[in-house]
Amino acid sequence: MICIGVANQKGGVGKTTTAINVATALAATGWRVLLVDLDPQGNASTGLGVGQAQRSHSSYDLLTAQCSLADAVVPTKVPRLDLVPATVDLSGAEIELVEMDQRTHRLRNALAGAPGRWDICLIDCPPSLGLLTINAMVAADSLLVPLQCEFFALEGLSQLLQTIDRIRARFNPALAILGVALTMYDRRNNLTEQVAEDVRTCLGGVVFDTVIPRNVRLSEAPSHGVPALIYDHRCPGSEAYIALARELIGRLPPSARAA
Ligand code: ADP
Ligand code: MG
């Protein structure tokens, strides 16, 4: 199972929207997908229609070894897409984990518990660079970084890149940046265009060609408890996520691809 962390320490840049819709697009093309909701806000869980009643086991229990991966997983309405939901307990985990041994490797160890059941795992990270995101970076083969085209986008990115370097040096030398996805792209906005150009100049080929447009359908879907790709699979946002998933598959090692 290949593992991809969806990370950016800024909130509201499109991590969860990207995680849900890329996961759905991959599942639609035949991949068996596991999405781990690692944000105490649980937006990925809500967005996939997994309510509190279905969260008797969660990513918190998994990290604190109170349940197995098999116990923590719930199916979603999307065929081939399973979820480890998040609950608010997770907000205490940043502090509780500090005291635990293997504190940076707890997710990695937990995911090793079900080899072969999924082809790919996506981890929806919280908006911080604390122990939860570090657990995702230690567990991941690579990172998908959503970036909103706004003025401070690049500043936040340098902090993220520093953290990635530190994780590589200490825990996970093979951690790669699979790609940076420009989100909430608004062609009518000159600043968007300018920032996108700066980001491409600065980061080069790591930036995906596909950009995710600002599209109200993407923001409406979560309140219906389904991915945008199911809510309205022909809206510009859904079409962009299908294209992004295709581009992403092209960047994965051939051995990772589903049959
Ligand atoms: P994060 O997980 O990084 O905090 P979200 O994916 O939750 O970001 O997105 C933040 C908000 O913006 C949410 O309300 C979401 O529905 C909305 N949103 C995300 N991407 C888009 C987009 N491309 N167009 C319009 N709204 C979007
Ligand atoms: Mg989120």
pLDDT tens profile 145-204:
999 988 888 888 999 999 999 999 999 999 999 999 999 999 899 989 999 999 999 999
pLDDT tens digits, 3-37: 999 999 999 999 999 999 999 999 999 999 999 99
State the Cα–Cα distance between residues 147 and 26, nearest whole angstrom. 21
Residues 6 or more apart whose Cβ sits within 8 Å of residue 24? 78, 81, 227, 229, 230, 241
Is the CB of 229 within 6 Å of ligand 1?
no
Question: Pocket of ligand 1, candidates 129, 219, 220: which has the most ligand atoms within 8 Å of its Cβ, to mutate?
Answer: 219
Task: Give 207's strand partners.
Answer: 180
pLDDT higher than threshold 60 for residue 75: yes
- Tokens 């790609």 sit at which residue? 179
pLDDT score of 86: 98
Task: Report the C-alpha gap between 9 and 244 in whole angstroms.
Answer: 21
**With a 6 A CB cut-off, is 57 part of the ligand 1 pocket?**
no
**Is the pLDDT at 102 greater than 80, yes or no?**
yes
* Contact assessment for residue 125 and residue 167, using Cβ atoms and an 8 Å cutoff: no
Ligand 1 site, residue 223, Cβ cutoff 6 A = no
pLDDT tens, residue by residue, 216-247: 999 999 999 999 999 999 999 999 999 999 99
Which residue lies with its CA nearest to atom 13 of ligand 1?
A: 219
Residue 212's domain comprises 2-256
C-alpha 241/C-alpha 184 separation (Å) is: 12
Give the CATH number of the domain where residue 207 resides.
3.40.50.300
Indicate the angle between helix axes 236-251 and 15-28, nearest 10 degrees: 70
Ligand nearest to the CA of 213: 1
Please give the number of the atom of ligand 1 that sits closest to the Cα of 219: 16
The count of structural domains within the chain is 1
Contact 108, 135 (CB under 8 A): yes
CB count in 10 Å sphere of residue 20: 32
pLDDT in tens, 34-64: 999 999 999 999 999 999 999 999 999 999 9
Distance from the alpha carbon of residue 216 to the mean position of ligand 1, in angstroms: 9
| Count of CB atoms situated within 10 Å of the CB of 84 | 32
Q: Is the pLDDT of residue 258 over 80?
A: no
> How do residues 111-123 score in pLDDT, each as one tens digit?
998 889 999 999 9
What is the Cα–Cα distance from 126 to 39, expressed in whole angstroms? 4
